[in-house]
Structure 1
Amino acid sequence: MEDNFEGTETIEAISLDMSSSNARDINLTPWAFAKMEKLRLLKFYVSNVRDNRGNKVHVPGEGFEYVFNELKYLHWYGFPLKSLQPNFQLESLVILEMPNSNVEELWSGFMQLVNLKRIDLRESQQLIKFPDLSGTPNLESLILKECTSLSEIPSSIQHLTKMESLYLGGCVSLTSIPNCSGLKSLKELDLRDCSKLKRLPELPNNLETLGLSGCKSLVEIPSFFKYLSKLQSLDLCGCQSLMSILDLRGWKSLEYLGVLWCLMLPKVPNSIEILDLIDTVIEAPSFEDHDSLDSLYLNNSSMLKSLPSSICKLKYLETLCLFDCSNIDKLPEIPPSISCLKRLDSLNFSGCKGENAVCLILPPNLLGLDNLRELHLSDCGITELPDNLGRLTSLETLYLDRNHFQSIPGSIINLSKLRFLDISNCERIKVLPKLRYWTSISAVNCTSLEELSYPSFHNSSFYYDMEANFTNCFKLNRASLNYFLEGTVLEMQGRATSIVKRHLQVNAAQSPPSPLASICYPENDIPKWFSFRSTRSFIDVKLPQHCFNYDFICLALSVVVTISDPNHQCDHQEDDYHEYSNVNYEGIVKSKDGDRCLNRIDESEDDFYSLFEVPYCGPDYIKSNHMIIGFGYYFVSELCDDEFSFQFSVKNRNESNIEHIKVVKCGVHLTFGLNLETLGDEPYPKRLKHIK
């Protein structure tokens, strides 16, 4: 930066985003701020950390001659100096933020900064020493996350009576912390991943949130904890050396206790709302004194063999998760006492196979589970499902994937609220029974599946998206599949009509949300009922002039994707790891003068819209050519002209092309909605007109 000071005396704020690849390096001179006596805000920031290419604002070794009389806000990402200069005039400073800086000591000696309320030096890995803070009596927030070289916190911190939050997470060199009982306003203390910290300091009684996860050397919880009566959240996850917790019965405010990976912890404390016992060695927790518990997580609890009957005492329990409790021997029998949990909303037994899993047994009295919306029974070794499954009438999500049953009871049609059914990798199932309403289905790798029932939609009032995924279902009966497609197409068209009509009655000025539906199944050719077909990845569509007499267009888009490398391997070695790609489309309307204007099927700000998501490696990777059909709609009034162009592509989540999965064919089918002002209550199949 050249020493040209003309006009700089009026500058009050400087803000530069240094993350852009187009941002050039700036070389400041010692007199860069010499005339900026009114400067109140100085911000060299990085909006996209991933795009950061290091510090781009360079400072002379001797620092600055004159600086910052009126400065209130200083943010300097990657601040290059080792310390703030003694001649920095920062008496007016309120906020000091220097993340990822090169600072070794913030300042030396004593500095009077009575207006300072916030210091943020996160990820300043060169920071060795922190200064005396007695000159900052109004400091409210101190953030030193990931300052990995910092080994000591000054004792003067105990006098900061206005401090509300202290973040020291990831300070792996800290072995001790001074007495904090004087921090009368402190509500949040983060000590996560302070792996060398063996003892906790005295803490103020007003503390509400305490994060201790990853404190591997912490052996005990001090006795003064019983006075922390306002504590709401205590995270002890990963405290591998912790062998006991105080009786927390008097902690009326405690809502969350996390003890994930506390491998030495044998007992469960009482009187909390959320209890996280993932990866613990607890054998059989008693719930006699846990009547306020809202959520219970027992995932991967290797010593847990059964659920005690006292679980019925948890009258407020809404979430119960026992994912992958490999030693539970009472499954597939679910304890009858669960029926007493009238507020239970989510129940997860996935991975609990038991020793002799044969038939899933649901308690006869399921009427108590009136609020159960989610049921997870993935990979439970189930060979038979009960007939009374359809009595869980509030169920919205049902996971039955990776089991061994051959059929699903017909009572599933009674699940009138079911939105999602997962039967993926159930290799023995042959028939998918009739489902009620607009239910998404995942049936990936159901290699024996032959029959699909005609969808029983009943013109339902649900308006969420529907997806039917039959990837690698190679035995699907063609007539059955066509029957299923026919029902889906009719429902999609009727749904568009009713939604558009309702939307126009409420607000005709805004575009309505598109009721998207999509289907994927093994196939080589675009269906013949598609009016426009192409053997490439793009297609042009000419609309007839009479289409402008209608209010909206329903359209079906189809693509055939081909696989050049059926044996493609993921970079990751995990058996269940997947990397996903999106089959995208871009809809373009040509204007009369030849220019092209984007006119998307949805209101997305992206240049494309996703038709379907498929894994491009992993166990669910598509193993042959597959057909993908998607449905959408939009208003005729939004058209620029009568020519469409659709471009299809396969990209990963970083928007890069997937080389071994390509779109080789595509098609478009259009249906026009009749004038909605004259529809009245006419049945919806009669409201639509196909293009021949």
Structure 2
Amino acid sequence: MKENQDLEILEMQLQPIIDWAITNDIEEEVIPRDIGKLSQVEDIYLSGYELSALPDSICFLTQLAILDISGCEIKFLPSNIGKLTNLIELNISNNQLTSLPISTIDLANLQWLDASYNNLNQLPSNFRNLKSLNTLILSGNELSYIPEEVGQLTSNVDLELFFENNQLAEVPSWIGALTHLNRLSLNNNKLGELPDAISHLSNLNYLSVNRNNLAKIPGWIGKLSKLSTLNLNSNCLNNLSDSIGDLFLLTSLDINNNNRIVRLPDTVGNLSKLIYLGIHGNPIHKIPHSLLKLKNLKNYEELTKSQNVTIKKSLVNKIRSFIRNNQ
């Protein structure tokens, strides 16, 4: 008797999802029409469907771990989405969302949230409840500031934050409290400077600030001892700080297309793990001989051909000889 009652309850909860799927021509492989199979679904990929909204009954899919509704023209999420407590990945990118439900903070197991390319300008309060979150993507939301709720993620390990293609004019000082931050991408914004607070991000290994308005990189950059990738492409830099040579773990340094850098510091020769060095699109007239110490660098030949870069013929010959001897 109880089993029949449970089945009736389950059918009452999940049948609206099946009806919704049929109405929206969603394939049975994506949304099973069998109640038993639907109740066990762990991942749903609906990217590209024109849906406008999800049914509230989606919250009864308690086994759901991955939900992808990117590019569906969705304007709001179900208010009870927080009941999907087993959800690990949520992709809601490329929709028309202006806010996230308050219950989003109840997604205790959520590790990856892509809310890029919507119309968001704030996040739910108590965002700190998302203790499992390690990747947050808010690119393309026309943000003029980084939502302060992000500053609550102080205990989240291996945190990765993406704020590309927004309207950010500054980075808040509280970002220095995110000491577990591993990756920070701020490409294509309106940043004129980087705050000293970033120097406190002792676990940062990836920093990308391409296509901004940065005129200088502060001397504290050398304190980011775990940095392996530093992207400074297409800014307004005049030079690089000598402290760049303290980034002993750096494998990729991109200063392409700044159009103003005329020399590289001798300390670049300390970057023994460097594999890629991009200097194209700069009026560089002095490349230090210390560059020949970089035995892991893979693009020596490219450096000798970089646009707007002038290298003494004697150094070009040394570089080419170095390449031949290390092939």
Under a length normalisation based on structure 2, what TM-score does the superposition of the two structures give? Answer: 0.76
Alpha-carbon distance in structure 1 between the residues aligned to 2:108 and 2:43: 18
Please state how far the C-alpha of 1:292 moved relative to its aligned partner: 1.0
The CA deviation at 1:412 is: 1.1
SS of match in other structure, 2:44: strand
**In structure 2, distance between residues paired with 1:308 and 1:258:** 20
- Of structures 1 and 2, the larger Rg is shown by 1
Match for residue 300 of structure 1 among 114, 117, 142? 117
1:516 paired residue number: 298
Q: 1:363 to 1:248 in 2, by over 3 A?
A: same
Aligned to 1:117: none
* Residue 65 (structure 2) aligned to one of 234, 255, 261: 255
Residue in 2 that maps onto 1:343: 157
Is 1:431 aligned with 2:213? no
1:54-87 Cα deviation digits (max 9, x unpaired): xxxxxxxxxxxxxxxxxxxxxxxxxxxxxxxxxx
Alpha-carbon spacing, 1:369–1:247, altered in 2? closer, same or farther (3 Å): farther
Summarize deviations over 1:534-558 as a string: whole Å, max 9, x none. Answer: xxxxxxxxxxxxxxxxxxxxxx438
Structure 2 residue 169 is matched with structure 1 residue 352: no
Aligned residue identity for 1:431: N
1:557 and 2:320 equivalent? yes
Deviation at 1:375, TM superposition (A): 0.9
* Aligned with residue 39 of structure 2, among 217, 229, 232: 229
Superposed displacement of residue 409, structure 1 = 1.7
Q: Which amino acid aligns with 1:353?
A: Q
User: 1:467 — aligned with what?
Assistant: 276
Report how many aligned residue pairs link the two structures. Answer: 292
Call closer, same or farther: CA 1:244–1:197 in 2, change over 3 Å.
closer
* Partners of 2:151 and 2:317 in 1: CA distance: 57
- The higher relative CO (CA closer than 8 Å, separation ≥ 6) is in 2
User: Aligned-pair distance for 1:256?
Assistant: 1.1
Post-superposition Cα deviations, 1:428-475, rounded to whole Å, max 9, x if no partner, equal 221212321244221221012234323366576x5xx5111111102x
Is the 8 Å Cα contact of residues 274 and 295 (structure 1) preserved in structure 2?
yes
The residue aligned with 2:126 is 310
2:326 aligned partner, one-letter code:
Y
SS at match of 2:222: helix
Contact 1:431 1:451 in 2 (8 A): yes
Q: Does 1:363 find its partner at 2:174?
A: yes
Please say if 1:528 is aligned against 2:308: no
Deviations 1:234-280 (A, max 9, x none): 01112213532334444343221011122144115332111111122
- Partner SS for 1:317: coil
1:422 offset after TM fit, Å? 1.2
Q: For residue 313 of structure 2, what is the amino acid of its counterpart?
A: P
- Contact between 1:346 and 1:373, CA under 8 Å: does it hold in 2? yes
What pairs with 1:323-334 in structure 2 (closer than 5 Å)?
A: 323-326=139-142, 328-331=143-146
Whichever residue aligns with residue 238 of structure 1, its letter is G
Q: Please, which runs of 5 or more residues in structure 2 have no aligned partner? A: 1-21
Paired residues of 2:206 and 2:228 also in contact (CA < 8 A): yes
Measured against aligned partners, the alpha-carbon deviations of 1:638-679 in whole angstroms (never above 9, x if no partner) come to xxxxxxxxxxxxxxxxxxxxxxxxxxxxxxxxxxxxxxxxxx
The 3 A distance-change label for structure 1 pair 259 and 284 is same
Look up the match of 2:77: 267
**Distance (Å, rounded) in 2 between the aligned partners of 1:226 and 1:280:** 30
Equivalent pair of 1:400/1:422 in contact (CA under 8 Å): yes
The equivalent residue for 1:284 is: 99
Match of 1:453 in 2: 265
**Aligned AA (2:63):** S
State the one-letter code of the partner of 1:489: L
Amino acid at match of 2:293: L
Q: Tell whether the 8 Å contact from 1:233 to 1:254 is kept in structure 2 after alignment.
A: yes
**Offset at residue 529 of structure 1 (A):** 4.0
Q: 2:6 matched to which residue of 1? A: none
Q: CA, structure 1 residues 531+421, in 2 after alignment: closer, same or farther (shift >3 Å)? A: closer
Matches of 2:25 and 2:309, distance apart in 1: 64
CA distance in 1, matches of 2:63, 2:128: 23
Contact 1:407 1:429 in 2 (8 A): yes
User: What secondary structure is seen at the aligned counterpart in 2 of 1:309?
Assistant: coil
CA contact (8 A) 1:316 1:341 kept: no
> Deviation at 1:336?
5.5
> Partners in 1 of 2:210 and 2:271 — Cα distance?
28
Distance 1:482 1:293, change over 3 A: same
TM-superposed deviation, 1:337: 2.9
TM-score, structure 1 normalization: 0.38
What amino acid maps onto 1:472 in structure 2?
G
Q: Matches of 1:267 and 1:430 in 2, distance apart?
A: 46
More strand by share: 1
Query: 2:75–2:98: 8 Å Cα contact kept in structure 1?
Result: no
Does residue 395 in structure 1 map to residue 201 in structure 2? no
2:252 paired residue among 437, 440, 448: 440
Do the aligned partners of residues 490 and 365 (structure 1) sit closer, same or farther apart at CA in structure 2, a change above 3 Å counting? closer
- Cα 1:523–1:444 shift into 2, 3 Å: closer
Partner deviation per Cα, 1:138-166 (whole Å, 9 max, x = no partner): xxxxxxxxxxxxxxxxxxxxxxxxxxxxx
Shift of 1:386: 0.4
Q: What is the aligned-residue RMSD (CA, Å)? A: 3.2
- CA drift of 1:315 comes to 0.6
**Partner Cα separation in structure 1 for residue 26 and residue 282 of structure 2:** 57
One-letter amino acid matched to 1:361:
P
Mapped contact 2:165–2:187 kept (Cα < 8 A): yes
Asked if the contact 2:264/2:287 (under 8 Å) is kept, the reply is no
Aligned pair in 2 of structure 1 residues 397, 471: CA closer, same or farther (>3 Å)? same
Residue 487 of structure 1: aligned partner: 290
How far 1:395 moved relative to its partner? 1.8
**Residues 114-144 of structure 1: CA deviation (Å, up to 9, x unaligned):** xxxxxxxxxxxxxxxxxxxxxxxxxxxxxxx
C-alpha distance in 1 between matches for 2:299 and 2:325: 7
Pairwise CA distance, 1:301: 0.5
Contact 1:237 1:260 in 2 (8 A): yes
| Partner secondary structure for residue 276 of structure 2 | strand
Structure 1 residue 226, shift from structure 2 partner: 8.6
Cα distance in 1 for partners of 2:216, 2:26 equals 56
Per-residue deviation at 1:405?
Answer: 2.0
Report the secondary structure of 1:373's partner residue.
strand
Q: What is the identity, as a one-letter code, of the residue corresponding to 2:71?
A: W
Kept in 2, the 8 Å contact 1:516–1:630? The answer is: no
